[in-house]
Amino acid sequence: MIQIDDKIVSLDVFEKKFVCDVSICKGACCVAGDSGAPLEPDEILAIEEALTSIYCFMPEKSIENVEKNGVAIIDSEGELTTPLNNGKECAFTIFINGIAACAIEKSWEKGTCTLQKPISCHLYPIRLKKHSTFTAVNYDIWDICEPALACGEKEEIEVYKFAKPALIRKYGEDWYNELCIAAEYVSKNDLK
């Protein structure tokens, strides 16, 4: 583990290689799992403010779900998440040519939503876990991402490089630069 400010970064973030390959997985992370996308409180407000424009991209069943349950629910672990359709895909999932995508992101691309997509989705395969004095920055292992591991190996891109835009969005450019310095240190010192 490497500490940068109050963030404790798992060595897997530096060592594992990862690049999403949606041509193979078809965006499975949007449709698999026990809960929707983890949300931060400010994200809920951004989604609510842009809901009409987000609805333009969503199927009727998803709109009905969000109208009934709201944009966020509390899951079985007590976390704020997006609701699921029929216990499966995130209610904000849309399908484009058979590949899962995000209605929130589509609205952002059109300039009608201030939120690009939930930061938890943008950061994936990195998952953040807040503790009382620090935030753990971990690589999340999920079998549906096997194609991403193969693609990452082929392209030789580590998790922290793959997640660069999201990490900068979350923690800023200076923090990401410190992360890169830490990555060099990990690489040179073989800290496994």
- In a domain, residue 26? The reply is no
The one-letter amino acid at 76: S
Domain boundary among 92, 116, 140: 116
Domain boundary among 94, 116, 138: 116
Task: Let me know whether 140 and 76 are in one domain.
Answer: no
Task: Let me know whether 106 and 168 are in one domain.
Answer: no
Task: Let me know whether 57 and 132 are in one domain.
Answer: no
Residue span of the structural domain in which 139 resides: 1-18+125-192
- In a domain, residue 24? The reply is no
Per residue of the chain (192 residues), what is the pLDDT tens digit? 888 999 999 999 999 999 999 989 998 889 988 889 999 999 999 999 999 999 999 999 999 999 999 999 998 888 999 999 988 899 999 999 999 999 999 999 999 989 999 999 999 999 999 899 999 999 998 888 999 999 999 999 999 999 999 999 999 999 999 999 998 988 888 765
Task: Let me know whether 9 and 58 are in one domain.
Answer: no
pLDDT given for residue 76 in this prediction: 87
pLDDT given for residue 2 in this prediction: 87
pLDDT given for residue 142 in this prediction: 86
